[in-house]
């Protein structure tokens, strides 16, 4: 029995080894979450996550392949080995962490709200949103959706496949507000919300570390990623990429 268990252990390769052997790092993401991953004019997926993945592949000496996939299937895709890692602005939460491992967080964000101008005066803080006369939107399967339902149980809730649809619904007054991660609401506010006199409640009301997800039971890969991140954070690469996407 113990000999067999040891054999199985030796046979089990780290994703890291497979990536090196195949010469390719496959990253699963869902383009649509600014400025982490989005599609540019040429149809390429670009953003903060993607630039960090470029550094990751470079450090491994392999080529980077981005696999753009739907958000609701992103964890199943990792579990069924469609890609080696998820880099998709994913919040490390306890429910997801039961299914996957997360490398140490690379940034912390939180939920914020954008209010349509019709309700801008009466909604003073996010707490005011918990009222049956209001309709709140967010994106299906995200922590924005979870927060909206958990924190504003009395309000109506409407789910959307993509974050920009959820935001437009609040912009054009079909919904009272949209709830989503701070970096994206902030960009949407600057690009569209401000001119439409939306009210931006930009003080995050949840705590959300974002991290790269990998399959469980792979300490070698996890160790590599955590050390890679520490190195990037301290040698200027992280700051350069951060300033590119978050700098004004
Ligand atoms: N941080 C949020 C979550 O984990 C939203 C992430 C959405 N990411 C994306 N690439 N669409 O639920």
CATH number at residue 178: 3.40.190.10
Query: Are residues 102 and 126 located together in one domain of the fold?
Result: no
Containing structural domain, residue 157: 111-201
Query: Are residues 93 and 115 located together in one domain of the fold?
Result: no
Ramachandran class of 109: left when φ > 0, alpha when ψ lies in -120 to 50, beta otherwise:
beta
Spatial separation of the C-alpha atoms in residues 80 and 179, rounded to whole Å: 31
Q: pLDDT value at position 39?
A: 96
Helices then strands, counting H and E runs in the chain, come out as 10, 14
Spatial separation of the C-alpha atoms in residues 39 and 190, rounded to whole Å: 19
- Percentage of the residues of the chain whose pLDDT score is greater than 70: 95
Query: Are residues 119 and 229 located together in one domain of the fold?
Result: no
Query: Are residues 54 and 35 located together in one domain of the fold?
Result: yes
Task: Encode pLDDT of 4-48 as tens digits.
Answer: 655 555 557 899 999 999 999 999 999 999 999 999 999 999 999
pTM reported for the whole predicted model = 0.94
Token representation of residue 241:
């990429």
How many angstroms does the Cα of residue 122 sit away from the middle of ligand 1?
Answer: 29
Question: Is residue 90 in contact with ligand 1, taking CB distance under 6 Å?
Answer: yes
- Return the ligand 1 atom nearest residue 37 CA: 10
Spatial separation of the C-alpha atoms in residues 178 and 121, rounded to whole Å: 16
CB 95 within 8 A of CB 60: no
Query: Mutation test of ligand 1: which of 29, 69, 139, 183 has the most ligand atoms closer than 8 Å to its C-beta?
Result: 139
Regarding beta strands 24-29 and 63-68, do their DSSP bridges make them parallel or antiparallel, or are they unpaired?
parallel
Q: pLDDT value at position 6?
A: 55
Query: Are residues 7 and 103 located together in one domain of the fold?
Result: yes
Task: Encode pLDDT of 135-171 as tens digits.
Answer: 999 999 999 999 999 999 999 999 999 999 999 999 9
**Angle, CA 52 vertex, CA 191 and CA 28 arms, to 5°:** 85
Q: Is 184 helix (H, G, I), strand (E, B) or coil?
A: helix
Query: Are residues 69 and 9 located together in one domain of the fold?
Result: yes
Query: Are residues 182 and 222 located together in one domain of the fold?
Result: no
How many angstroms does the Cα of residue 107 sit away from the middle of ligand 1?
Answer: 13
Identify the H or E element spanning 133: none
- Return the ligand 1 atom nearest residue 141 CA: 12
Q: How many domains does the chain have?
A: 2
Residue 99 DSSP code: T
Q: What number is the ipTM of this complex?
A: 0.98
Q: pLDDT value at position 12?
A: 76
Query: Are residues 116 and 101 located together in one domain of the fold?
Result: no
Q: Is 20 helix (H, G, I), strand (E, B) or coil?
A: helix
């Amino acid at each position: 029995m113990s000999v067999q268990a040891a054999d199985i252990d030796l046979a089990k390769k780290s994703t890291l080894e497979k990536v090196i052997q195949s010469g390719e790092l496959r990253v699963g993401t869902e383009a649509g979450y600014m400025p982490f991953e989005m599609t540019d004019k040429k149809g390429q997926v670009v953003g903060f996550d993607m630039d960090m993945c470029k550094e990751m592949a470079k450090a491994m000496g392999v080529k980077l392949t981005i696999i753009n996939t739907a958000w609701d299937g992103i964890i199943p895709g990792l579990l069924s080995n469609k890609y080696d890692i998820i880099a998709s602005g994913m919040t490390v939460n306890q429910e997801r962490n039961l299914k996957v491992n997360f490398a140490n967080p690379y940034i912390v964000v939180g939920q914020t709200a954008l209010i349509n101008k019709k309700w801008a005066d009466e909604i003073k803080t996010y707490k005011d949103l918990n009222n049956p006369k209001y309709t709140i939107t967010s994106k299906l399967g995200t922590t924005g959706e979870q927060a909206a339902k958990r924190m504003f149980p009395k309000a109506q809730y409407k789910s959307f496949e993509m974050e920009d649809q959820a935001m437009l619904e609040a912009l054009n007054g079909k919904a009272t507000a949209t709830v989503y991660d701070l970096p994206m609401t902030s960009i949407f506010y600057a690009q569209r919300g401000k001119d439409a006199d939306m009210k931006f409640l930009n003080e995050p009301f949840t705590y959300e570390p974002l991290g790269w997800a990998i399959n469980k039971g792979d300490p070698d890969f996890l160790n590599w990623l955590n050390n890679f991140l520490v190195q990037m954070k301290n040698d200027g690469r992280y700051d350069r990429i951060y300033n590119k996407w978050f700098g004004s």
